[in-house]
């Protein structure tokens, strides 16, 4: 795969702009990780079989998971391909992409199966919350393609409350996928001023904030439901690089789910689009 990006450095800080505070990385003791199945060898037929299995798991494990008609499915695929082309990214093997539409009227996530020389698929998705405009300290989630590679170590929520009795990252053990420092527009300004935020995908407080998912509500990160968080974590949706690193590095092995059942379509890219904008920015 050809990519145009600068690898991020290992993040060991303790503060992020899109969350109140990022706790230090903490090793989590996990069970043995099943052998990694490399996706490069999947044929289109094998890809279809694996996508169908994963779709069935999604519908069982994520209550209220979204499905779309053919026209909407093709729109997800078209917009995803446009964004990949803008970033000069070429798909050379079958893999999952996590695609987020930050359009305030949409606020959805789609799990897209991209492959070379065969039709792309959408297995389903769910609602998200992206950056909220009009509130000081809140940033507009940036569009683009963000790689989840082994240059940054994820972590898990500690389930602690902040001063407002909010568990910003969800209950203890929720996965936080970290995409490094990214440039985002300040949502409380109308002059386009930007700053750096720590772009992450994570769960949120189950009592007060999860009910806001489906509407812009975050400080710039992407909030997903606890059920979607567990699904993506369990199936290693974004963990192709982590599964490889975990073979020899216990820090990465510790981050992966204790009940990991990695899909053969594990990928490493988050794609953020905005269907309200033409052309995509």
pLDDT digits (tens, 9 = 90+) for 147-192: 999 999 999 999 999 999 999 999 999 999 999 999 999 999 999 9
| pLDDT given at position 280 | 54
Q: Is residue 216 part of a domain?
A: yes
Domain housing 67: 39-273
pLDDT (tens digit, 9 = 90+) per residue, 236-276? 999 999 999 999 999 999 999 999 999 999 999 999 999 99
**Number of domains, the chain:** 1
* pLDDT for residue 10 is more than 70: no
Name residues whose C-beta falls within 8 Å of residue 119's C-beta, 6 or more positions apart in sequence: none
pLDDT for 33 beyond 60:
no
| Residue 156 domain flag | yes
13 in a domain, yes or no?
Answer: no
Q: Is 210 helix (H, G, I), strand (E, B) or coil?
A: helix
Among the listed ranges 20-24, 43-47, 158-162, 213-217, which one has the minimum average pLDDT value? Answer: 20-24
pLDDT in the model for residue 11:
29
Is residue 9 in a domain? no
Whether residue 12 is predicted with pLDDT greater than 70 in this model: the reply is no
Pairing label, strands 139-140, 175-186: antiparallel
Phi and psi for 57 in degrees, rounded to 5? -65, -40
pLDDT in tens, 74-125: 999 999 999 999 999 999 999 999 999 999 999 999 999 999 999 999 999 9
Residue 29 has pLDDT above 50, yes or no: no
For residue 2, the model assigns a pLDDT of 41
In a domain, 131, yes or no: yes
Q: What is the pLDDT of residues 39-70, one digit of tens each?
A: 456 999 999 999 999 999 999 999 999 999 99
Does residue 18 fall inside a structural domain? no
φ, ψ for residue 44, nearest 5 deg: -55, -40
Using the CB atoms, write b or e for 54-84: b if 16+ within 10 Å: bbebbeeebeebbeeeeeebebbbebbbebb
pLDDT value of residue 279: 66
Spatial neighbors of 26 by CB under 8 A, at least 6 apart, are: 155, 156, 158
- Alpha-carbon span 92 to 100, nearest angstrom: 22
Report, as an integer, the average pLDDT of 219-230. Answer: 98
Within a domain: 162 = yes
> Are 145 and 226 a contacting pair, CB within 8 Å?
no
Answer yes or no: is 239 within a domain: yes
Exposure string over 114-126, b if 16+ CB within 10 A, otherwise e? bbeeeebbbbbbb
Helix, coil or strand: residue 183: strand
Q: How far apart are CA 133 and CA 273, in angstroms?
A: 17
Distance separating alpha carbons of residues 225 and 100, to the nearest angstrom: 14
């Amino acid at each position: 795969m050809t990519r145009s990006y600068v690898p991020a450095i290992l993040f060991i800080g303790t503060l992020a702009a899109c969350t109140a505070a990022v706790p230090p990385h903490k090793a989590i003791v996990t069970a043995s990780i099943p052998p990694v199945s490399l996706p490069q060898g999947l044929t289109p037929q094998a890809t279809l079989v694996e996508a169908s299995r994963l779709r069935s798991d999604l519908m069982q494990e994520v209550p209220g998971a979204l499905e779309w008609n053919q026209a909407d499915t093709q729109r997800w695929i078209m917009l995803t391909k446009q964004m990949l082309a803008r970033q000069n990214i070429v798909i050379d093997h079958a893999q999952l992409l996590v695609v987020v539409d930050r359009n305030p009227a949409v606020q959805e996530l789609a799990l897209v199966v991209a492959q070379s020389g065969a039709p792309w698929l959408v297995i389903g998705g769910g609602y998200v919350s992206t950056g909220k405009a009009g509130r000081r300290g809140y940033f507009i989630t940036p569009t683009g393609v963000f790689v989840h590679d082994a240059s940054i170590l994820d972590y898990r929520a500690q389930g602690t409350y902040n001063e407002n009795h909010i568990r910003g990252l969800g209950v203890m053990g929720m996965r936080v996928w970290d995409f490094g420092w990214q440039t985002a527009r300040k949502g409380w300004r109308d002059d386009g001023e930007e700053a750096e935020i720590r772009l992450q995908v994570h769960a949120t407080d189950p009592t007060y904030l999860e009910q806001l998912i489906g509407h812009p509500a975050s400080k710039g990160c992407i909030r997903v439901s606890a059920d979607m968080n567990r699904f993506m974590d369990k199936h290693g949706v974004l963990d192709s690089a982590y599964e490889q690193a975990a073979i020899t590095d216990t820090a990465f092995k510790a981050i992966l789910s204790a009940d990991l059942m990695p899909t053969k379509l594990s990928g490493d890219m988050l794609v953020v689009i905005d269907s309200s904008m033409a052309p995509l920015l």
